[in-house]
Amino acid sequence: MSCSFKFNIIFILHILAATPILSSPDNSSFNNFLDSAKTPEVFNWMVSIRRKIHENPELGYQEFETSEVIRSELHKLGIPYKHPVAITGVVAFVGTGFSPFVALRADMDALPMQEMVEWEHKSRVPGKMHACGHDAHVSMLLGAAKILKQHEKKIQGTVVLVFQPAEEGGGGAKKILDQGALENVTAIFGLHIDPELPIGEVASRAGPIMAGSGFFEAKISGKGGHAAIPQQSIDPILAASNVIISLQHIVSHEADPLDSQVVTIAKFQGGSAFNVIPDYVTIGGTFRAFSNQSFNQLRQRIEQVIIGQAAVHRCNATVDFLEDWEPFNPPTVNNEDLHEHFVNVAVNMLGVDKVDSAMTPFMGAEDFSFYQEVIPGYFFMLGVRNASHKQFESVLHSPYLEINEDGLSYGAALHASLAASYLLKHQQDLHGVERKTHDEL
């Protein structure tokens, strides 16, 4: 660990020394984005939007009022947008209306869970909560829109602001792409709040950062009967128990130990009495891997093991990968060139000791990966830790999640700076190339 840390510092210093864009006079105003984002005009406004959305959480593809808040603020800022995109989504534009195009993305949906934090702006909708910070993501992207609008004359291309529905299942990112909303976009950036990372710090890495994920459900059918006379039944509970044990062997003894993978059974339903063997059992779970190859191998083996092991116990099994309900998320893989760009911008804004450029990947999943399959993309974590919180309590998807809103300024400024400096850098690439306009402009 310490070796790679040293290497990163040297690497970053090398970038600082070698990249002229940082000292370019045209780029200098983009470096003040953090100051802009910290002004009461921008910061208080972002906080009020975040709290408003937090009070009224909406699930995937139902973000109608959230979408309305976004459009109303864009309208007040004089920023054109397209709506509806993917039902509740909004795609807005700041800049020249000409290429190059760079996209920034925020997800908008909440989770079906009850908030347990008692505060003035607690969720007013029972059983729904912004427990993944997507309320903060929306307000930061609006913050970036406001800052970029203030500097619109200096923007050397077009920033496409993507307010995306249904990240928490439902494949909102895929739907945005299917509607052709990101035509001509050559790079996309996204961020996620991290309640365990301090304010003013960011973390990411080049290459795979989050796993590909899928779900499955299996029905294992036997023959029900009296629990005291098992010889007259075909017991699906015993069969399912062996299926679950065998599924664990796929990762432990078929997968490369150096290629992280997960198969978890999170659901086991069967039977309703102490003395009755049921006709069938339903099991379900999730599987994760960092490459499409490993992911597809897992998918194939999960199906084979469930059907084969059920047959050993004289049961029939069917397996459903639930892709209509939740499309498989590909692994989230960060583009190498954009990693360099991110480190450059983040170190310049936050300081070298605030940027972890070799973050440990984790097995969570993000539908941002759908964008990365077709456009070079980059995803990073943004610190919103609240120093007074107990460790492991205020985490993502926890009913106790609380975020430090001071982080909003950093997210907005990084979004704006990543996009503006990307366009400046890539404007030069277009020399002599016919300029494209976005379909929507």
Give whichever of 132 and 244 is closer to Zn ion, judged by the CB atom. 132
Q: Does 382 participate in binding Zn ion (rule CB under 5 A)?
A: no
Q: Is 397 annotated as a binding residue?
A: yes
Instruction: Give, as ranges, the residues between 119 and 158 that touch Zn ion (CB under 5 A).
Output: 132
Q: Is 339 annotated as a binding residue?
A: no
Residue 412's Cβ-count burial label (10 Å; 0-12, 13-18, 19+) is buried
- The site string for Zn ion over 184-223 (x = CB under 5 A, - otherwise) reads ----------------------------------------
One-letter amino acid at 120 equals E
If one counts every other C-beta atom within 10 angstroms of the C-beta of residue 35, the result is 12
* Token pair 């995937």 in the structure block, residue: 60
Cα 435 to Cα 387: distance, rounded to the nearest angstrom = 48
Give whichever of 220 and 381 is closer to Zn ion, judged by the CB atom. 381
**Interface size with Zn ion, residues (CB under 5 A):** 1
- The least CB distance from residue 366 to Zn ion, in Å, is 7
Q: Is 121 annotated as a binding residue?
A: no
Q: Is 3 annotated as a binding residue?
A: no
Give whichever of 132 and 187 is closer to Zn ion, judged by the CB atom. 132
* Token pair 């036997």 in the structure block, residue: 222
- The least CB distance from residue 162 to Zn ion, in Å, is 15
- The least CB distance from residue 107 to Zn ion, in Å, is 6
Give whichever of 132 and 218 is closer to Zn ion, judged by the CB atom. 132
Q: Is 58 annotated as a binding residue?
A: no
Cis peptide preceding 80, ω within 30 of 0: no
Q: Which two tokens stand for residue 343?
A: 């480190």
Q: Parallel, antiparallel, or unpaired: how do β-strands 377-383 and 185-194 relate? A: parallel
Angle at 186 between CA 185 and CA 190, to 5 degrees: 80
- The least CB distance from residue 24 to Zn ion, in Å, is 34
Give whichever of 69 and 108 is closer to Zn ion, judged by the CB atom. 108
Report the residue number whose CB is nearest to Zn ion.
132
Cα 11 to Cα 5: distance, rounded to the nearest angstrom = 10
- The least CB distance from residue 130 to Zn ion, in Å, is 10
Cα 161 to Cα 146: distance, rounded to the nearest angstrom = 11
Cis peptide preceding 330, ω within 30 of 0: no
- The least CB distance from residue 134 to Zn ion, in Å, is 6
Residue 149 near residue 124, CB atoms below 8 Å: no
Q: Which of 311, 325, 302 is nearest to 220 (CA)?
A: 311
Give whichever of 358 and 395 is closer to Zn ion, judged by the CB atom. 395
Residues binding Zn ion (CB under 5 A): 132
Residue set of the binding site for Mn(2+): 132, 134, 168, 192, 397
Residue set of the binding site: 132, 134, 168, 192, 397
